[in-house]
A and B are shown apart, each in its own frame.
With several copies, the nearest count.
Chain A
Amino acid sequence: MTVPATVRIQREPFDVAAETKTLTRGRTDAGAVVTFTGICRGAEGDESIAALTLEHYPGMAEAEIERHVAEATQRWPLLGVTVIHRYGRIVPGEDIVMVVTVSSHREAAFAAAEFLMDYLKTRAPFWKQVEKAGEKTWVDAKATDDAAAERWAAPGRDAAE
């Protein structure tokens, strides 16, 4: 059985509820649905954020996320996965990224959603530029995100794979 898996990279907003319904509609084997939504915040510390602009590597972004979705469906007994990542200019309060995972049981749904988010943060070829007080700067990668992604690595696995 193939697990329904959808990956979309788009400029437009998405609808988490509609994507969830698409995955669960008409099936009665789903016992657990986890959704994650990443939202553009309006401030970082004391500095207010005017907008984020997300650049991506078209083609590679889809391929990279699809590889990780395929890995998630192998590691956990999933019944469906949808990942949507936006690019372009995004203002505070707008959604940036969403992950929906469906499984018979909650452990798999939670683990797969966290796994995918950790990988999206560190491996998917997207770059965030933040606008603060009229200045645009590139967001630095966070060591905490690398550490979060590391916990899923299989022993002996090449870090660049």
Chain B
Amino acid sequence: MKLRYFAWVRERIGKPEEDVELPAGIATVAELITWLSSRGEEYAYAFENPKVIRAAIDRTHVRPNTAIKGAGEIAFFPPMTGG
């Protein structure tokens, strides 16, 4: 599964994207965040406040309880500040 990171999430993790093999039992966006946080200091730092993290599956905004099954690309980023 392809993961993409933007803005300070990208800076904290130290890379813009990566391919990961998910362990069994990770069903939702929130569970994916919890698992990523356990992968190292940089991830723990990026996701230290999960409430502010936004996610998109295949380029559509999703909520923490959205199922990730079938996702091609999941992105994590801070609240948007465009416009």
Q: Which residues of A contact B25 (CB under 8 A)?
A: none
CB within 8 Å of B: which of A18-74?
A: 38, 54-57, 59-61, 63-64
Known: A57-B4, A160-B62. A126 touches B83 (CB 8 A): yes
B51 at the interface (CB under 8 A from A): no
State whether the Cβ of B59 lies closer than 8 Å to any Cβ in chain A. yes
A126 to B10, CA, bound (A): 13
A97 to B61, CA, bound (A): 21
- In the complex, the answer to whether B6 meets A57 with C-beta atoms within 8 Å is yes
Q: Does B3 sit within 8 A of A, measured CB to CB?
A: no
Q: Is B63 an interface residue (CB 8 A)?
A: yes
The answer to whether residues A127 and B59 also contact, given A38-B83, A97-B83, A138-B7 and a CB cut-off of 8 A, is no
Decide if A127 touches B80 in the complex (CB within 8 Å). yes
Main secondary structure of the interface of A (DSSP, over half): mixed
Interface residue tally for chain B (C-beta within 8 Å): 20
Q: Would you give the shortest CB distance from B42 to chain A, in whole angstroms?
A: 16
Chain A contacts with B in 133-161, Cβ cutoff 8 A = 138-142, 145, 158-161
The 0/1 profile, CB within 8 Å of A marked 1, for residues 14-55 of chain B is 000000000000000000000000000000000000000000
Cα(A59)–Cα(B82), bound, Å: 15
Given A55-B7, A160-B63, are A125 and B77 also a contact pair (CB < 8 Å)?
A: yes
List chain B positions with a Cβ less than 8 A from chain A: 4, 6-8, 10, 56, 59-63, 66, 75, 77-83
Given contacts A57-B4, A60-B59, could you give 19 more A-B pairs where the C-beta distance is less than 8 Å?
Answer: A55-B6, A56-B82, A57-B59, A57-B77, A59-B59, A63-B59, A106-B83, A121-B81, A122-B80, A123-B61, A124-B80, A125-B82, A126-B81, A127-B78, A128-B81, A138-B7, A140-B81, A141-B78, A141-B79
